Amino acid sequence: MFLSICIDLVSQDSINQFGSIMNQYGIKKIQANLFESFDFPSNKLGNLKRDITNSLDSFDKLRMYQFPLENTFKISYMENRKWKRLSFE
């Protein structure tokens, strides 16, 4: 599964924790606020989201693009530390 994560983090602590999580999952930093993986295992997505949620604060912004997941294009984002998801077929 292709996975792309765009971030806007407000504190250096969040930046450090997020970078550590990306390294643990093998997701590469492409640009200053963009991380990608072309072969991310979909069965690890729940664990990744849990770890991200635990590391960010309520002012951090994140958007995650996933394809294919359940044969659709998904956009997940955090709002008030809760995950929301849009699906496109």
Q: What is the pLDDT of residue 41?
A: 94
Closest CA to 53 of 89, 17, 12: 17
Please report the pLDDT score of residue 51 as a whole number: 96
H helical segments located in the chain = 12-25, 45-55
pLDDT of residue 70: 79
Give the pLDDT band (50/70/90) at residue 82.
Answer: confident
Q: Which residue has the tokens 């990306």?
A: 22
Say what the pTM is. 0.90
Of the candidate ranges 16-20, 27-31, 53-57, the one whose mean pLDDT is the lowest = 53-57
Q: Give yes or no for residue 27 having a pLDDT over 80.
A: yes
For the domain made up of 2-88, give the CATH fold: Alpha-Beta Plaits (3.30.70)
